[in-house]
Amino acid sequence: MRVVVSSPRIANNLIIRNSVAIDTNTPPPGIASHGAGIYCRLSYATITGNTITENEVLDDFDGSGGGIFLAYSMPVIEGNRITLNHAEQGAAIFSQTLSAPQILGNLIQSNTMYAALPFYQGSASGAITVQQAPDFRIEGNTLADNTAAVGAALNLSGCRAGRVQNNVITGNRAYDPTAFGGMAGGIYLMVLSDAVEPIYVVHNTIVGNVASNIFGEQGGGIAFALPAGSDRLVIANNLIVSNSSGLYQTPTPLPPDGRATLAYNNVFNLRSNYLNLAPGTGDFSVAPGWVDAANGDFRLAPDSSCIDRGSAAYTVRVDAVGTPRPLDGDNDGTAAPDVGAFEVVHPLADSDHDGMTDVWEIEVLLDPTRDDAALDPDADGAVNFDEWIAGTQPRDARSVLRLTIPRGVGDAVRLRWLSVEGRTYRVEYRDKLLDTSGWQMLEGERVGTGGELVAEDRLPSASGRFYRLSVSRSRL
């Protein structure tokens, strides 16, 4: 699929088994071949919900973009399955020449180049390769089981700004069959001194990646180069765990080497955690404690030592699945971001101290990180805290506690309301509104059923009464 000087929406397609051949019509090295699945040039395309699989670029010299190729483009690539594609560079996605991609919430799995010596020598650069971007955002993706010589999952070179955040990067292997190994199983970055702002690598879960070769370990988790004294790289609040090694800074031919900012990472790996660099401020090294790592669930367990261990200075607003940050994940009264891609929601915590639990606020689409108890987003007359007590929906004006008093039969007055499970109700009355004797309970307390409840009051036909309905959260 070729997209040139246009901005289409490419959605919900199966793009499978397309092949771009080697150019043999011009003298070596010929014209590079690009983009077997989707080719974008001068495009603002939205690419979403597609399965892009088993496509190949057979140019083994400088072919790129087995799944997607980008040049002079600013696409949004979101919610796709990009698997089993083949290319020398960027087997899944290759971005070059002033492109500024947003790559969000995709599955990027098992992309590489054929390794059939002497014809095909594997992928030179990662499944996602971004070169010379003025900006980029790579967020919320799962990058798994990809293979390339350098930066098996992500290879980011010469970019002037960008963010890598909230990704799960697991099971990738840096391997060059001609060099008996590779560098940067998870992420490779080469950041120049002319970057206009730091490249941020924050809140990623980087686990089980490999970069071993005959020269030793070269960054199973992350490897980076900072030539000419560059310092425009921030690596913070990440889980870099169970990789063949942790972080590796490559020596540069012309010193001095630059210095990255490292902060509040959990770096806990099979061999060396730091190669050619020192730990950063707040870095620590402990077994993280997963929910179910054996089955690929890398959320933090409730007793994980990584809960509330990150720094607010480097956090992002939400986690990989949209849970707000920071929360009070250990329920100690103080909210702080968790390390890694996922934020833990404690069942009893109230991170913003507004009287409503985080669990409920997330469920009803309120913000558990700020006090919004007195707001009324659906303008139904009940503020958020009242709706929390009543169990009603604060963003639905039809969901509110109301007592209705239809015309009775004879001397009876029937009072009706819609109840909620887990709530206890009291109907009370006064014969006079300003009666100083107080409110009297009409019947005993009623437990919510999720359906309509009815209370009946029989009084002399000439009498009048005032009623009110109160509700409380039932004790467990």
Going through 184-341 in order, the beta strands assigned E by DSSP cover 187-190, 199-202, 205-207, 212-213, 216-217, 222-225, 233-236, 239-241, 247-249, 261-263, 266-268, 274-275, 290-292, 297-300
Contacts of 93 (CB under 8 A, 6+ apart): 65, 67, 68, 69, 70, 77, 82, 101, 103, 108, 127, 128, 129
The least confident of 206-210, 219-223, 248-252 is 248-252
- Closest Cα to residue 184, out of 230, 225, 214? 225
378 within some domain: no
What's the chain's length in residues?
A: 476
Task: Look up residue 132 and give its two tokens.
Answer: 């010379």
- Looking at the fold, whether 7 and 132 belong to one and the same domain comes out as yes
Whether the Cβ atoms of residue 127 and residue 108 lie closer than 8 Å to each other: yes
Torsion of CA 440, 446, 448, 451, to 10 degrees: -90
Q: Residue 113 sits in a domain of what CATH number?
A: 2.160.20
Whether the Cβ atoms of residue 428 and residue 468 lie closer than 8 Å to each other: yes
Mean pLDDT along residues 201-228: 93
Q: What is the pLDDT of residue 26?
A: 56
Q: At which of 313, 334, 360 does a domain end?
A: 313
Mean pLDDT along residues 198-222: 94
Q: Record the pTM.
A: 0.92
206 phi and psi, to 5 degrees?
-115, 105
293 phi and psi, to 5 degrees?
-60, -35
394 within some domain: no
Beta bridge partners of 62: none
Q: At which of 272, 296, 313 does a domain end?
A: 313
151 within some domain: yes
Please tell me the number of Cα atoms within 13 Å of 311 on its side-chain side. Answer: 19
Residue 464 pLDDT class (50, 70, 90 cuts) = confident
Mean pLDDT along residues 107-128: 85
- Looking at the fold, whether 138 and 279 belong to one and the same domain comes out as yes
Mean pLDDT along residues 128-138: 97
- Looking at the fold, whether 287 and 433 belong to one and the same domain comes out as no
100 within some domain: yes
385 within some domain: no
154 vs 103: CA distance, rounded Å: 12
Q: Is 38 helix (H, G, I), strand (E, B) or coil?
A: strand
Show the domain range for 62: 2-313
Whether the Cβ atoms of residue 125 and residue 156 lie closer than 8 Å to each other: no
Task: Look up residue 168 and give its two tokens.
Answer: 């799960």
Q: At which of 290, 313, 336 does a domain end?
A: 313
Q: Which H helix or E strand runs over 386? A: helix 384-390
382 within some domain: no
Whether the Cβ atoms of residue 267 and residue 273 lie closer than 8 Å to each other: yes
Q: What is the pLDDT of residue 460?
A: 58
Domain count across the chain: 2
| pLDDT of residue 458 exceeding 70 | yes
Mean pLDDT along residues 71-100: 96
Mean pLDDT along residues 173-181: 83
DSSP 279: -
